[in-house]
Each structure stands twice: as C-alpha cells, then as structure tokens.
Amino acid sequence: MTRRTFATMNALRALATFSFLSVALIGTSACESRISSHGHTIDEAELAKIELGKSKKSDLIFILGKPSFEGAFGSGKSYYVSQTMEEPVAGINETTSRTIVMFTIDNEDIVRAVDVLDETSGLSIAHIDEKTPTPGNTYGAIDQIFKNLKRRRATEE
C-alpha cells in the first residue's frame, strides 16, 4: 500500500468517528424531559392592578384576558388556570405545578374577592380503570355475527 492509500483510510476513519460521535451527541441530547406551560400565567404586577371593590369584570377581562372557565349556576366566579407539565422521556405527562386564581364577582360585576389555589389545594381523583364500566352485555365477534343474522332473518319474515 502506498502513503496515499493510508492517508485516505485515515481520513475515512476520522470522518466515520466524527459522524458516529455527532449522531451519538444528537441522540443523547434528545433524551431530556419536555416542560410545557398551559393556561393563563398571572404575575404579581397584573394581580396588583385589580382593586377589590373597585375593579369591574370588564377590567378583569381587559387586564388578564378571558377566564379559563366561569363558575356554574351563576355563582359569580371566574377562574384563571395556569399549569406546568413535564413529560419525561418515554413517559406520561406529570403536572409539576398548578395555580388557580379565583375571582368572586358580585351582581353589579364588581370584583369582591381573590383566592389563589395551588395543586395541593385541589381534590385528588382516583383513577379506577382504563375503561368506564357500562351496564349491558359484552358480545364477542361470533356472538355479534349470529345476533345480526337473527335480526336480519326476523326482518325478512
């Protein structure tokens, strides 16, 4: 072999090593959990602009935007929800923080109270099963075929 062949082989070996290390580096950088924020993030400056007993619901919407949801049955409550979730690599989303700012509004559309709730203030709901149990029969594929044949025969007669 000549020097030129050795130089070419060394260059190819260096290129292969560089390519392998580049792919490995990119692959390991993808192994990081993703953090995402959802909802209305309300900071202290925005909250300070709202004066209890003076600010109206229209002021609230102007400063903070439309609420995430409003209370049911005319309760006069507006809720702003902010949530941060973390999705580990090949995992299920987990809520890392949740803040609910609840405004109580009276009949004249004036803000009367502000309550701040976090994820520890909420109720824990137990996850029972993957599917919601329903009453009735559970038929297999063959049972369904015969049931359809019986139904078809009954309509033909």
**d(Cα 53, Cα 106) in Å, to the nearest integer?**
10
Grade residue 32 by pLDDT with cuts at 50, 70 and 90: confident
Q: Return the H-helix or E-strand segment holding 112.
A: strand 111-118
Burial 101-129 (b: 16+ CB within 10 A, else e): bbbbbeeeebbeeeeeeeeeeeeeeeeee
- Check residue 21 and report its DSSP letter: H
Task: Tell me if residue 36 falls in helix, strand or coil.
Answer: strand
Q: Which residues does residue 105 pair with via DSSP β-bridges, in sequence order?
A: 111
C-alpha 142: how far from its chain's center?
A: 40
pLDDT in tens, 128-139: 556 666 666 777
Q: Does this model's pTM top 0.85?
A: no
Distance between CA atoms of residues 51 and 32, nearest Å? 42
Percent of the chain with pLDDT over 70: 81
Residue 125, token pair as written in the block: 């709901």
Separation between Cα atoms, residue 50 and residue 57, nearest integer Å: 10
Positive or negative: CA dihedral 60, 66, 71, 75: positive
Q: Which two tokens stand for residue 6?
A: 């050795």
| Residue 93 lies inside a defined structural domain of this protein | yes
Same domain (yes/no): 111, 98: yes
d(CA 150, CA 140): 15
Tell whether 57 and 20 lie within a shared domain. Answer: no
* Residues 77 and 107 reside in one and the same domain: yes
List pLDDT tens digits, range 52-95. 888 899 999 999 889 988 888 878 898 888 888 888 777 777 87
Q: How many helices (H) and strands (E) does the chain have?
A: 4, 5
Residues 43, 117, single domain; the answer is yes
Give the range of the structural domain holding residue 11, as residue numbers without chain letter.
Answer: 1-31
| Residue 68 and residue 13 in one domain | no
Whether residue 138 lies inside any domain: the answer is no
Clarify whether residues 22 and 51 are in a common domain. Answer: no
